[in-house]
Structure 1
Amino acid sequence: MMNRVKYNLYILIGASIIIIISQLLSSFLTTSSFEKTYKETVVSRYRIVSKEIRKNVETAIDYGKPLDRFGDYNRIIDISSGEEKTGIKEIIIASPEGDVFYSMSAGITGKKVPFKRIPVFKNQSDEYTFDTKTVIYTALPLYYNKTDWTGVLYLGIDSKMIKDQVAPINQKTMKYYGFSLSLALFITILVLSMLLLYTEKSKKREMFISIIIFVILTFSQLGSGLVNNKLYEVEYSKLFNQNMKTLSRVVKTGFDFVLSLDIKIDRMKKAEEIIHERVKDNIECLEMRITDTNGFILYQGDKNNKSIQVGSGEKENFAANPFRIVTTLNSNQQLKGYLFVYMNREIIKEKQRNLILDILTVILISIVFGFEMMGFLHILIVKNTKLENAVVVQKSEDNMQIIRFTAFIFFFAELIPLSFMPIYINELFNLQPLQLFNTSRGTIMGLPISSYMLGVMIFVPLIGFITDRFGVRKILLSCSLLLFAGAILSAFSTSIIQLMIFRFISGAGYGGIIISSTNLIIHSIPDKSRTTGFGYWSAGFASAAICAVPIGGILVSRLGFRNVMIISGIAALILLLFIFVFIKKDVVIEDDISDEKKHASLSDFLCIFKNRNLLVNTLLSSIPYSLAFVGLFQYLFPLFMDNKGISQSDIGRVLTIFGIISLSTPFFSRIADKIKNDKLFIAAGNLINGVFLLLFLINPNIYIFILVIIGLGFGSMLTDAATESFITSTDTAKRIGEAKTLGIITTYEKLIAIFVPLTAGALISATGFINTTAILGIFIIISTILFIIFSTNPRKNEGKDE
């Protein structure tokens, strides 16, 4: 046994490591999130310049000058002569196909654009932004007479310039986190040392240790988060002000030119249309006004209206206003009037609100991550208190901790791509479109997800056949290796076909671990606590969803799709190492385990059709659940939010709600074990899923979407808490073995899940997103009603037997 000093040292070192890792994670995510916001705001300033260049080019096109016959582009693009000029690394004017007519860089004119991605524009208001290694490009379409798409204007912004601007802000952020970390470590070591020295080892003391770590972690995160949020608000306000100054300067340049032609300021034709168009093109601007030298308003324009105010007698207020930029309008250095540019205060508030949400999301992720690390610390201490030749775990309570942390790492690796996988597929489709027998785009984009499910379906029964021969540990290690290989290969996919193959490999690894984990739970948790054991697995999934989904969304904005897929592969590698170290032998428990048949026969695979509860559960519960989770949660919802213009980080943040709710699964699992009526929980969960999906018929906005996610979270939590127990309590499971039965059922479920993305894609193409969710909601409700009618409660006599 570990002596007291060594035990106390483990606690102090472990607690310190948890605090350090959580703070490092928090600082990385916070700076990454702010860098994304900072970059988007800077890019929006250069987009103002780009739109002014486009206006000049399109004016020339409208006068009949073809793009490929311009003699001197430099006169047209001279608008970039302000302070933004230092950040412009490239300006390219090209055909829709990518043939370059003009470039700031020598040797590109007459060739193809120096990047693979060539955007396709459907209308004049479309805008695209994409990154290369050193340049951030904004792309705007060039139209002839606002009807014919004739070219593309690319403006390249120096990435290094943005990084250099962000660096000093990040240094301040790291100082705040450094101070917070030092203080948190000091308090942690001081308080825990006193507790360990003056109290005896007990479960009560272990609970106090966990509470102390949790409280210190929470307050340190909140303190550093709030301080950094204030810093970010100040920096964002500076950026916003710079953007408005740029807009003001660009508009002023145009009107100064008109006034230099001896046109009087109150006689400028279409001045109100010009400022109206500028406001419409810039979401950060609320309104523009032009006045004479005495402040009388002559022209006015906002996003919806334009008007000539000459002679109205309305006068502008010259009092100081922090949300307004005032610029003089001159002719030959003589004052002719003023330009007033009003900032959109709602946009400022929205950005500040997003900054706060980012900070709170990061704090939540760090706390949940720290909580799981506390579980790992418990596992580590338990392992080091066992005899060297003992089995891995000896108590079901310890088993549950290993089950939960295994689930956490496993799902963390697999859920990282969740917030962006459909968008990644869309990117690959745009780069290399795929045609299959006149299949719709939506159906083709569902193929990589279906291939993933196909891998799951094939490997679930395969692993069921070979588990007894090779053991759970070897299977888990091998499948972790498949997860690693699938993620790394997916990162380097260049087409949807390649991605389909590599996601199949990932699906094979996923299926193997899912069925092996079922064996792990069944053979390490007593029958009376079986539902709780599955609840701990679901809780590990919930924690992973909270951490992995937003982390994936934040990282993809900073590192790109491919690099984040590599990170997913690294997480799978960590899973492999954890299994190698902490699952040394076949797991046993205190209770005896009934003998099971070594292999599932063909007749066993047909057992589902002989047992009413299994058949009803598969057809009327598993299918609806797959539609709700795979079809909607993993496929339709990310695409829906992306189409609404919601960023990947926001998609991850919204989907995190699902994980937060699912954290309570162990609690409801314990209730299900006491009530012993799994049918009730399954029916209630699926009904909630179906009813909440119908809410989209009311008003398909982001708030309804969040409400639907909350409903799916509660519904899935109740279903997860009882489904496995419902299956393993049937007569068939008792006859052929619980693990084998779950493996067979899982095979059927994954077979069904293969067709879910394809079905969802086809429904979207045929009926649209809203109608698709309504159809699925109605289907789930009808299926649940039939489930209630035809199923029975297989645990109704369990309490009597005991």
Structure 2
Amino acid sequence: MKKEAASQTRLVVTSIFILVLSQVFMAGLSTGSFEKIYLNFLTASYDIVARDFRRSVDQGLRFGKPLEKLFGIDRLMEEIHRKNEDLDNIVLFKPDGEMLYSLQKAEPSTFVPKALQIDFTRDVREGGSDTRTVLLEGRFHVLLPIISRENEWIGTIDLSFDEGVVESRKNAILLSNLKVLGAVTFAATILLAFLVLFFVSSRSGPDLPRRRVLFILAFVLVLAQLITSAANIRDFRSHYIEITRLKIVALTDRLRENIDHLLNKGVQINRLVRIEDVFEEILGNTMEIEKISITDTGGAELYAATTQRRDAGCGAVAFMSAASQPGDFEVFFPLRRTLDEKEVIEGFIKVHLSECTISKAVSKILLDAVTVVLISFLFLVELVIFFLIYMRKEMQSISREEEASFTYVLGRPVAFMYLFSVALSISFIPLQMKNLYEPMLGLSKEIVLALPISIEMLCAMITAFLAGMAIDWWGWHIPFGAGIGLSACGAFLSGSASTGLEFIVFRGIVGLGYGLSWMAIQGYVFTFTDPRYRARGISNLVAGIFSGQICGTAVGAMLAERIGYPGVFIAASALTFLPLFFVLIYMRPYFKKPESIVVQGPPRVGDFVRYVTDRNIFAVLVFVMVPFSVCQIGLLNYATPIYLSSLGISQSSIGRVLMVYGLSVITVAPLISRFVDRSSNKKIFITLGGIIGGLGLSVLYFTNGILAVLTAVFTLGLASSIGGSAQSAFVLDLDVTKEIGTGKAMSIQRSADKLGQMLGPVFIGAAIAVVGLENGIAISGMLYILCSILFSFTTRTGKS
């Protein structure tokens, strides 16, 4: 009885763990978003201060004074510091880094650090003079160039503030989120314990009712996350509006002072000259303002300017501001003049905040929340499977029949954890290469950006081909462990790469590991799964792969927005070891060679040649597997991140678009596989899948934008669902496959798959270089359709 109660307790504890993990992740995302917004607010505020300071410097330069001998500059810096107490220092230095003036007194001929010596020459020549923000040794530096009358860069203004200013505000928000999280998690724990105790029998032991357990866990987790997400979104919105209002105060403060000065000089409020030009400048630099105006004391509008930025996306997020209070989006500033030693209000500056911009920022958090709920559900499914494995391990004795019906499940959590870690970086590998870009071997930029993915797939192809032999000689566990080590090492080095060439080499190391581990876990399923359960083993393996890929892609994209690409690579490196720990704990009894090694003998070149020259096999490899892999990796890993990034789509949204591929496969494939199994003609499904996938990619020839890419990604997943299962059944039913052996045939097919994946980014990159991005993707789709038709005419319906 104690063991039975203990199983219920373990179920509750492990469920709470996944709940807390997902809750903390969601709180971290919303806090990270707020941190970025607050930092943007501070830098925008100090950008205004820096520009006002530069205007004062410009006045001295117009009188012919050299930058080194400006009068009253120290007093001006002290005045700026009094109004902005968070500023640590104000520095003015020459282009070579020599410090001319500093709020904190410095020795003569002192130079600022190299990291702050940004070259503004090109920006100034191109007519730009925007600020740059640099984080150095715990301090943010807002840098603004000083431009001479000859339009040359002659110096730089540096306003610095401590990183703790942002951290303190962020920590306050995080503490508020954690309080809500703690309360909701406590209530969820009680509810979960109640439901498990009353609806899951303690006598079930390892044979827990999976559907009932999954439903209970999903109900509690989704309910808890919805409550937490609603609270986080509400708090984020109120903080965002508060920060925006503070930003507006900083923006209009100087304008208000100038107008007050004019009013005190006797200028009438309805006689201000070119004030709309000032409004237009403010609107141009501030996304959060929709309208700015001046009214008299009776409310009559005297001057006004309205932004023209409102776009089609605003209507889609208008509901986010439906619950707003009327005063949330309006800020008033009184305009005064002194009359007989009394201040008289002459009118008001009225600023209307952009509901669209604020709602869009909040909707990003909402999308993140929905994504996390979906990811948590997928994690939950894997958790239930893991818990069943754990319960089996706890049993003292298991019959041979029970072990046979259980062995195939072990491959799923391994595949999930490994693909999760690998997929963390899928959405931004070409974007990181773009950051490190340098010309190579006279290749076009589009092809160079494709090289990290192509080299990774080339290396994976090589080791995938060799892995089949390694599994036969040493067992599946040796190549799996070697692959984990290589994958982790490559991911870690990818995060530290400083040149494009280094990044390409390090992704190649990841590919070497991927080919070994990927084939090793498949080898385990084929070798140690009872033939009666092999189909279930393969379907569970595929489910684990796609769940891991969906979760990893989304989580990696959201993390990249917060911690940057290098941080995600390092996180991926650490997480790569999780499946190795699982294997060492739960799968050690299967660390042995396949028993069939004595019968099969060593692989021969003749087997390879005979297999690939078979008419049906050749058609499958050349007209189906390679074209699909070219389109799959070319679109998902290469073209989609680059294209959506060029449209200004956030990294999180890029990850969500890529999720659609996996979601379409795991939702559609099980439904279609039933029709495939019943049909005796698998060729129809293979051809139909290729045509559908090609048509989806061809959509970009007629239209563009995120919806076009979304359509292409979804239809490619649909093509995989329709053609994938039919393709496997078609190949396995051929006599030549049975003659060469399933293991060797699997290695050859996976090598062809990796060949297509290697060629995909380079092929689409070359097409983009010639005809443009949209047309390049569309042409790939058209060629995919052609290959599918050729497959239909080339193959024979009978067995080879």
Contact kept in structure 1, 2:630 and 2:758, CA below 8 Å? no
Offset of residue 125 of structure 1: 8.5
Q: Which residue of 2 aligns with 1:638?
A: 641
Distance across 2 between alignment mates of 1:158 and 1:703: 42
User: Which of 394, 397, 404 is matched with 1:395 structurally?
Assistant: 404
CA 1:320 to 1:204, structure 2 compared with 1: closer, same or farther past 3 Å? Answer: closer
Q: Which residue of 2 aligns with 1:31?
A: 28
Offset of residue 513 of structure 1: 1.5
User: Which of 469, 489, 493 is matched with 1:489 structurally?
Assistant: 493
1:426 paired with 2:434, answer yes
- Find the residue that maps to 1:342 and give its secondary structure: strand
1:457 paired with 2:466, answer no
- Find the residue that maps to 1:401 and give its secondary structure: helix
Q: Which residue of 2 aligns with 1:352?
A: 362
Offset of residue 408 of structure 1: 0.4
Distance across 2 between alignment mates of 1:625 and 1:144: 58
Distance across 2 between alignment mates of 1:99 and 1:242: 35
- Which residue type is aligned with residue 402 of structure 1? L
Contact kept in structure 2, 1:422 and 1:638, CA below 8 Å? yes
- Find the residue that maps to 2:209 and give its secondary structure: helix
Q: Which residue of 1 aligns with 2:629?
A: 626
1:322 paired with 2:328, answer yes
Contact kept in structure 2, 1:391 and 1:585, CA below 8 Å? no
Contact kept in structure 1, 2:611 and 2:740, CA below 8 Å? no
- Find the residue that maps to 1:325 and give its secondary structure: strand
Distance across 2 between alignment mates of 1:669 and 1:588: 33
Contact kept in structure 1, 2:200 and 2:208, CA below 8 Å? no
Q: CA RMSD in A?
A: 3.8
In the alignment, structure 1 segments of 5+ residues that lack a partner are 306-318, 798-802
1:376 paired with 2:382, answer no
Distance across 2 between alignment mates of 1:763 and 1:478: 36
Contact kept in structure 2, 1:23 and 1:366, CA below 8 Å? no
CA 1:607 to 1:399, structure 2 compared with 1: closer, same or farther past 3 Å? Answer: farther
Q: Which residue of 1 aligns with 2:348?
A: 338
The C-alpha deviation readout for 1:600-655, integer Å capped at 9, x for no partner, is 32223334541222222222222332232211211221122222222222322332
- Find the residue that maps to 1:599 and give its secondary structure: coil
- Which residue type is aligned with residue 600 of structure 1? P
CA 1:486 to 1:94, structure 2 compared with 1: closer, same or farther past 3 Å? Answer: farther
User: Which of 134, 154, 164 is matched with 2:138 structurally?
Assistant: 134
Distance across 1 between alignment mates of 2:722 and 2:3: 42
User: Which of 509, 512, 515 is matched with 1:508 structurally?
Assistant: 512
1:606 paired with 2:609, answer yes
Q: Which residue of 2 aligns with 1:57?
A: 54
Contact kept in structure 2, 1:732 and 1:741, CA below 8 Å? no
TM-score (norm 1): 0.86
CA 1:320 to 1:668, structure 2 compared with 1: closer, same or farther past 3 Å? Answer: closer
Q: Which residue of 2 aligns with 1:474?
A: 478
Offset of residue 412 of structure 1: 0.6
- Which residue type is aligned with residue 329 of structure 2? F
Q: Which residue of 2 aligns with 1:225?
A: 229
Which shifted more, 278-287 or 196-205?
Answer: 196-205
Offset of residue 546 of structure 1: 2.8
TM-score (norm 2): 0.86
Offset of residue 510 of structure 1: 0.2
CA 1:766 to 1:249, structure 2 compared with 1: closer, same or farther past 3 Å? Answer: farther
Which shifted more, 61-70 or 785-794?
Answer: 61-70
Q: Which residue of 2 aligns with 1:18?
A: 15
Q: Which residue of 2 aligns with 1:408?
A: 416
Contact kept in structure 2, 1:612 and 1:791, CA below 8 Å? yes
1:114 paired with 2:115, answer yes
Distance across 2 between alignment mates of 1:289 and 1:716: 56
- Which residue type is aligned with residue 39 of structure 1? K
In the alignment, structure 2 segments of 5+ residues that lack a partner are 310-324
CA 1:428 to 1:147, structure 2 compared with 1: closer, same or farther past 3 Å? Answer: same
Distance across 2 between alignment mates of 1:728 and 1:172: 57
Contact kept in structure 2, 1:23 and 1:221, CA below 8 Å? no
Distance across 2 between alignment mates of 1:347 and 1:786: 50
- Which residue type is aligned with residue 392 of structure 2? V
The total of aligned residue pairs comes to: 772
- Which residue type is aligned with residue 358 of structure 1? D
Offset of residue 146 of structure 1: 12
Q: Which residue of 2 aligns with 1:47?
A: 44
- Find the residue that maps to 2:785 and give its secondary structure: helix
Distance across 2 between alignment mates of 1:166 and 1:436: 43
Offset of residue 128 of structure 1: 5.9
Distance across 1 between alignment mates of 2:376 and 2:286: 36
Contact kept in structure 2, 1:535 and 1:721, CA below 8 Å? no
1:583 paired with 2:587, answer yes
Q: Which residue of 2 aligns with 1:436?
A: 440
- Find the residue that maps to 1:328 and give its secondary structure: strand
Distance across 2 between alignment mates of 1:596 and 1:676: 32
User: Which of 271, 290, 293 is matched with 1:289 structurally?
Assistant: 293
1:547 paired with 2:555, answer no
Distance across 2 between alignment mates of 1:634 and 1:117: 33
1:498 paired with 2:499, answer no
Q: Which residue of 2 aligns with 1:311?
A: none
Distance across 1 between alignment mates of 2:602 and 2:169: 63
Q: Which residue of 2 aligns with 1:316?
A: none
| Matched ranges for 1:82-231 at <5 A | 85-89=84-88, 106=106, 110-114=111-115, 124=128, 131-132=135-136, 134-136=138-140, 156-197=160-201, 205-231=209-235
Contact kept in structure 1, 2:451 and 2:504, CA below 8 Å? yes
Which shifted more, 707-716 or 408-417?
Answer: 707-716
Offset of residue 147 of structure 1: 8.2
Offset of residue 540 of structure 1: 1.4
User: Which of 650, 659, 662 is matched with 1:647 structurally?
Assistant: 650
Identity in percent? 23
- Find the residue that maps to 2:294 and give its secondary structure: strand
The C-alpha deviation readout for 1:29-53, integer Å capped at 9, x for no partner, is 3333332234224413531441563
Distance across 1 between alignment mates of 2:400 and 2:55: 76
Offset of residue 547 of structure 1: 1.9
Distance across 1 between alignment mates of 2:154 and 2:728: 59
The C-alpha deviation readout for 1:446-469, integer Å capped at 9, x for no partner, is 222222122212212222222211
- Which residue type is aligned with residue 15 of structure 2? I
Distance across 2 between alignment mates of 1:290 and 1:188: 57
1:688 paired with 2:685, answer no
Offset of residue 67 of structure 1: 9.4
Contact kept in structure 1, 2:764 and 2:777, CA below 8 Å? no
CA 1:774 to 1:69, structure 2 compared with 1: closer, same or farther past 3 Å? Answer: farther
- Find the residue that maps to 2:436 and give its secondary structure: helix
Offset of residue 258 of structure 1: 5.1
